[in-house]
Structure 1
Amino acid sequence: MKNKLLIILGLGFAWACTSPKAEKIDYTALTDEERLEIAKEIALNTIIVDGHMDLPFRMYNMGHDMRGEVFDFMTRSDQGNIDYVRAKEGGVDAPFMAIYIPATYQETGGAKVLADTLIMMVERMVNTWPDKLALARSPEEIEANFKKGLLSLPMGIENAAAIEDDLSNLSYFYNKGIRYMTLTHGKDNLVGDSSYDDSETHGGLSEFGKEVVKEMNRLGMIVDVSHITDKTFFDVAEVSIAPIVATHSSVRSFTPGFERNVSDEIIKKIAEKNGVVMITFGGSFLDQAYADANSAVRAHMQEWLKENNLSFRDDKAREYMKAYAAEKVPVVHVSKVVDHIDHVVQLVGIDYVGLGSDFDGVGDTLPEGLKDASMYPNIIAELLKRGYSKEDIEKICSKNFFRVWKDVESVAGL
């Protein structure tokens, strides 16, 4: 078996190097173990872009900004979903750092200040470890960093509350390295309506929001349509002259009624606009049975916490919830992520799908085989099992998103 694996690994590496001979191998006929070994090699030799990770806000919650400390990103951790060691093991090369602004900042103020703080924390990591990390403001910079062996940390804002009511803040953040902006988050804001909010404040994109989309187009900043209502989405699609992206959304047909995921109609429109849907990994996004069970568990926990005068942060509460959920919530496997990829591919083709984990943003709801950044090879192995080609996998991992990004840049200034 060892010799056979070495042969297969050699073929897998040759495949990553575009060997015509390797292309003839039927990867669907291999064992799961053999496919996984090849998938690991492919992950290390293919640029993998992830559309959304919430590491900056996790660092902020840990108080590193207050203490002026640099987050220890270099050491393997059992906390969160990404660190340098796990990223390199999994072959992820450009995880977008989400500059996340909670909706409460729309009420309290300080959204721009928080965005600046989170950007500063990402910059501080890069400045601390310049031999390991680098910022990235374009596909070309990611490609150059990849050749140097550097992990790229591109950035995107999550929630347009960050620009407050000032359109000029878009160019301010663009100059800071922000390359996409998610228009809303948990509540309606000045730009448009959120899929998590029933208020329908604007009935779609606001007049200010239309100007925001136009200015993003002018700058070459990607418009992220995750989190917005369907009405807001179609307004964006009408206003934007550039492709649009859902950086961390899955397919609604698997979770009927969950507007946070994208409908088939929206997927078709994104493809029509030459954009991309980046599939997210949270269990409630992937599987309706999981979502229903998880909601029931959370409702139970709310009552249990009140009865026991505890909060979710208490160790006793965490232990109880973990044990209780283990009995109630079904297991979701990494294969579910590929089910969602399959759906997009079958609906509109291979050119319009990518990966957007939402690591550090979805808590303990991640699938088996996809708990952290070391596990991207499990997605690739499942794709191989289903007959996806080398070219297909490269498109899913980065080439689709790079095409969109370059197209967005090409309309800048128009």
Structure 2
Amino acid sequence: MKKNILFILLLGIVSACSSPQAEKVDYTVLTDEERLEIAKEIAQNTIIVDGHMDLPFRMYNMGHHMRGEVFDFMSRSDQGNIDYVRAKEGGVDAPFMAIYIPASYQETGGAKGLADTLIMMVERMINTWPDKLAFARSPEEIESNFKKGLLSLPMGIENAAAIEDDLSNVAYFYNKGIRYMTLTHGKDNLVGDSSYDDAETHGGLSEFGKDVVKEMNRLGMIVDVSHVTDKTFFDVAEVSKAPVVATHSSVRAFTPGFERNVSDEIIQKIAEKNGMVMITFGGSFLDQAYSDANSAIREHVQEWLKENNLSYRDEKAQEYIRAYSADKKPTVHVSKVVDHIDHVVKLVGIDHVGLGSDFDGVGDTLPEGLKDASMYPNIIAELLKRGYSKEDVEKICYKNFFRVWKDVEAVAGK
């Protein structure tokens, strides 16, 4: 009987694709198992774009490039949050590879060199497995790759420190395939102020930063407002002629005082500019109680490391941290991600929200049911459970992002 129900529902899904009137399926009346089956089907047949994954920096830290080796992306791994097998299982088709520049490079120099290295590592993966992976520099390229069954690896720079103090580097990176740039990271930089830094060096966007935003508009590079202060954001909103995106930020209403998440006022301004917020998955972004517990653990661990003269990386420290923190954090569930999506939808509508996991960037803080790239169907199932339609799901998975990206390209075309 169950198979029959599924068959009828899947027929409903297929026919809904061809005729807008045909979608009469009420997913809310199904069992969780039935919904998950349909969610898996949708995930496989719908393009899923993820705004931000830190795989390149994880690869860099493993040092393969130093030995001239290519990182083994093809085998299932129990390390990190993504590999080819888990990506395919979860139906993710275009995870943006973050070319991440730690703020320390702003002091030491070498930011552009690191960006070049990380880009080269992504290129090397794609060139090693051209039958599985592909470059993606536009929505059309992602669609074409999807039809061929290829996993697209579009790229975005995280931390405009990568351009150093030279405006012409924006075009340099655009020509290397970079399609968005996160303006700051953990500290204020030459472009603007970071939400993690209290210095307020520029009181928002610097003069150089304004030129950078204009140059990004001119080229068709998306301006990413994750990690900036509120003042910086509103400066960007004023300067940018194109829509802006928060590629990996969640909703501040759930984490009051956490400037790294976006406020309702910011969400409204992003929507007004026809942009979007891509909800990120880390527990501390999603849930205040989790964030508080995490901070308390971190403080205790730092003290303990000092007393025992150890560093985070020491095996003894790792064991202690695991044991100490095992039962001290509340459980955060995948449904919490959908709470954040709901909030944006109720505030500004379905057209301004997407997914930006921050996989490989948030350690072991991911929610139950969302530990790696194989688990996107759990988000889709939760959306269906709450009455979102298949069309809504497609908007969240890729259509909103494609609209924004095309808008950014259109502004550049002018």
- The answer, yes or no, to whether TM exceeds 0.5 is yes
Closer/same/farther in 2, CA of residues 346 and 98 from structure 1, 3 Å limit: same
String of CA shifts for 1:172-215, please: whole Å, max 9, x gaps.
00000000000000000000000000000000000000000000
Residue identity matched to 2:69: E
Closer/same/farther in 2, CA of residues 210 and 320 from structure 1, 3 Å limit: same
Alignment pair present for 1:198 and 2:184: no
CA shift, 1:15, in A, is: 5.8
Residues of 2 paired with 1:18 and 1:209: CA distance? 46
Instruction: Indicate conservation of the 8 Å contact 1:203/1:231, yes or no.
Output: yes
- Name the residue aligned to 2:230: 230
Alignment pair present for 1:407 and 2:407: yes
- Name the residue aligned to 1:250: 250
What is the correspondence of 1:306-345 to structure 2 with a 5 Å cutoff? 306-345=306-345
Runs (4+) of structure 1 moved beyond 6 Å?
none
> Which deviates further from its counterpart, 89-98 or 25-34?
25-34
Percent of aligned positions with the same letter in both sequences?
88
CA shift, 1:303, in A, is: 1.6
Residues of 2 paired with 1:35 and 1:322: CA distance? 35
Closer/same/farther in 2, CA of residues 5 and 63 from structure 1, 3 Å limit: farther
- Name the residue aligned to 1:25: 25
- Name the residue aligned to 2:387: 387
Residues of 2 paired with 1:20 and 1:150: CA distance? 28
String of CA shifts for 1:231-270, please: whole Å, max 9, x gaps.
0000000000000000000000000000000000000000
User: Paired residues, what number?
Assistant: 414
String of CA shifts for 1:84-119, please: whole Å, max 9, x gaps.
000000000000000000001011110000000000
Alignment pair present for 1:215 and 2:215: yes
Residues of 2 paired with 1:39 and 1:321: CA distance? 36
Instruction: Indicate conservation of the 8 Å contact 2:159/2:184, yes or no.
Output: yes
- Name the residue aligned to 1:124: 124
CA shift, 1:6, in A, is: 4.4
Instruction: Indicate conservation of the 8 Å contact 1:43/1:376, yes or no.
Output: yes
Residue identity matched to 1:288: Q
Instruction: Indicate conservation of the 8 Å contact 2:51/2:96, yes or no.
Output: yes
String of CA shifts for 1:111-158, please: whole Å, max 9, x gaps.
000000000000000000000000100000000000000000000000
What is the correspondence of 1:4-15 to structure 2 with a 5 Å cutoff? 4=4, 6-7=6-7, 10-11=10-11, 14=14
User: Unmatched 5+ residue regions in structure 2?
Assistant: none
What TM-score, normalized by structure 1, do the two folds share? Answer: 0.97
Instruction: Indicate conservation of the 8 Å contact 1:99/1:155, yes or no.
Output: yes
What is the correspondence of 1:275-354 to structure 2 with a 5 Å cutoff? 275-354=275-354
Look up the SS of the partner of 1:250 in the other structure. coil
Residues of 2 paired with 1:64 and 1:8: CA distance? 49
> Which deviates further from its counterpart, 294-303 or 337-346?
294-303
Alignment pair present for 1:77 and 2:86: no
- Name the residue aligned to 2:268: 268
Instruction: Indicate conservation of the 8 Å contact 1:243/1:273, yes or no.
Output: yes
Look up the SS of the partner of 1:327 in the other structure. coil
Residues of 1 paired with 2:119 and 2:411: CA distance? 26
Residues of 1 paired with 2:197 and 2:13: CA distance? 48
Residues of 1 paired with 2:16 and 2:105: CA distance? 45
